């Protein structure tokens, strides 16, 4: 196990260098002249050149790239072009209360837990009533929910529940841990609705595959109750695809939801990324892209290790 982990960590190194090269070329070459974008439409050539010199964009591309890699190796992503703050400080915040990471997790972690709980329970129930009106109507509802734009959900529920019925604040934020939940209930509700339909259909499919296996028929023939068969046998044997889906969704949860955070003024990483895109703040965008790639590879490794925990037959090489 230790040898496997070390090999995977070593394999990550060339992958990360490839990601740094790709993001550098994407934002510094293919994306046009960053200095011209920062200067604006009415800037003079001299103003553009001054910005280029100030940001070091007048250096050869290979030197800019090696400077960028050196920053990453030192865990120093540089400074934001727009705010002049260090990017590490922008991501971590000055304190726990104003940390964008914790703001994003305050939104996405409850969504993550609710989605797992609701989707698995609903999918298990549907496998027991498969072919019934409840099963078919639920599947149709899930497909219809997945077909509607996420923007439509946000605008409709924000208007109806927040403005019309005044059940929740439309937007806003309280940095205190207990005060923020007043503003997070509606975004959490919308976020759960957005992602619940697809997970129910996915889990229903894998649970149905397990129901027709021989071990389930054997368990039922031994007189085991429905609850025991569902949770001790079917759910346990379906954990590998569940782990794959849920663990690999963690990086996106940590980085936050761009759309939901923007509409509800949640000061998380998603809102930070939107602000960076609007301001052509390439250092922040590159840092977020790199962090997302690292998190994805780390959680992919974690999911592989969890396979061994839930299924002793799995061997890692």
* Cα gap 91→84, rounded to integer Å: 13
Which residues have a Cβ under 8 Å from the Cβ of 247 and sit 6 or more positions away? 299, 300, 302, 303, 306
CATH number of 100-310: 1.10.3720.10
Cα–Cα distance measured from residue 191 to residue 154, given in angstroms and rounded to the nearest whole number: 9
Q: Which of 129, 174, 154 is nearest to 257 (CA)?
A: 154
Report the C-alpha gap between 144 and 133 in whole angstroms. Answer: 16
In the chain, which ranges are continuous DSSP H helix? 2-25, 34-39, 45-54, 61-73, 87-92, 100-128, 133-147, 150-157, 181-211, 214-221, 226-228, 235-237, 239-247, 250-255, 258-263, 269-278, 282-310
DSSP 8-state assignment for residue 26: I
Which residue ranges make up each domain of the chain?
Answer: 2-91, 100-310
Cα 64 from Cα 53, distance rounded (Å): 12
CA dist 255 and 261 (Å) reads 11
20 touches 69 (CB < 8 A):
yes
d(CA 91, CA 101): 7
Residues 6+ apart with CB under 8 A from 197: 141, 142, 143, 145, 146
Are 216 and 271 within 8 A, CB to CB?
no
DSSP state of 58: T
Each residue's pLDDT, cut to its tens digit, for the chain (317 residues) gives 788 888 888 888 888 888 888 888 887 776 667 777 777 777 788 888 888 888 787 888 888 888 888 888 887 888 888 888 888 888 888 877 788 888 888 888 899 899 999 999 999 889 888 889 999 999 999 998 888 888 888 888 888 888 888 888 888 888 888 888 999 999 999 888 888 888 999 999 888 888 888 888 888 888 777 778 887 778 888 888 888 888 888 877 777 678 888 888 888 888 888 888 887 788 888 888 888 888 888 888 888 888 887 777 767 66
pLDDT of the residue at 30: 67
Tokens read off for 209: 């595959």
Q: Say what the pTM is.
A: 0.81
Report the pLDDT value the prediction gives residue 130, as an integer from 0 to 100: 86
Cα distances from 164 to residues 57, 156, 168, 173, in angstroms, run 51, 10, 10, 20
What is the Cα–Cα distance from 168 to 184, expressed in whole angstroms? 9
Per-residue model confidence (pLDDT) at position 256? 63
Q: Identify whether the C-beta of residue 59 lies closer than 8 Å to the C-beta of residue 35.
A: no
> In sequence order, which residues have a C-beta less than 8 Å from that of residue 304 and are 6 or more positions away?
8, 316
Contact (CB, 8 A) for 183 and 169: yes
């Amino acid at each position: 196990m230790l040898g496997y982990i070390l090999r995977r960590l070593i394999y990550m190194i060339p992958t990360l260098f490839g990601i740094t090269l790709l993001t550098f070329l994407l934002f510094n070459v293919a994306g046009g002249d960053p200095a011209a974008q920062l200067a604006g439409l009415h800037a003079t050539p001299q103003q553009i050149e001054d910005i280029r010199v100030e940001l070091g964009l007048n250096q050869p591309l290979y030197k800019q790239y090696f400077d960028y890699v050196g920053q990453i190796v030192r865990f120093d992503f540089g400074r934001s072009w727009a705010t002049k703050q260090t990017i590490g400080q922008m991501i971590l915040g000055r304190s726990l209360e104003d940390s964008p990471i914790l703001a994003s997790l305050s939104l996405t972690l409850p969504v993550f837990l609710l989605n797992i709980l609701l989707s698995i329970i609903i999918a298990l129930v549907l496998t027991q009533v498969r072919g019934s009106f409840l099963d078919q109507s639920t599947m149709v509802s899930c497909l219809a929910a997945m077909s509607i734009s996420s923007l439509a959900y946000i605008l409709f529920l924000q208007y109806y529940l927040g403005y019309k019925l005044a059940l929740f604040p439309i937007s806003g934020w309280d940095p205190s841990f207990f005060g923020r939940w007043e503003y997070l209930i509606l975004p959490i509700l919308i976020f759960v609705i957005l992602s619940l339909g697809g997970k129910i259909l996915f889990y229903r499919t894998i649970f149905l595959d397990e129901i027709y296996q021989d071990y389930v028929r054997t368990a039922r023939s031994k007189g085991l109750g429905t609850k025991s068969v569902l949770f001790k046998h079917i759910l346990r044997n379906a954990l590998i695809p569940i782990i794959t889906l849920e663990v690999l969704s963690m990086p996106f949860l940590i980085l936050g939801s761009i759309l939901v955070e923007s509409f509800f003024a949640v000061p998380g990483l998603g809102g930070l990324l939107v602000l960076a895109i609007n301001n052509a703040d390439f250092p922040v965008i590159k840092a977020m892209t790199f962090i997302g790639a690292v998190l994805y590879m780390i959680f992919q490794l974690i999911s592989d290790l969890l396979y061994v925990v839930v299924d002793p037959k799995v061997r890692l090489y």
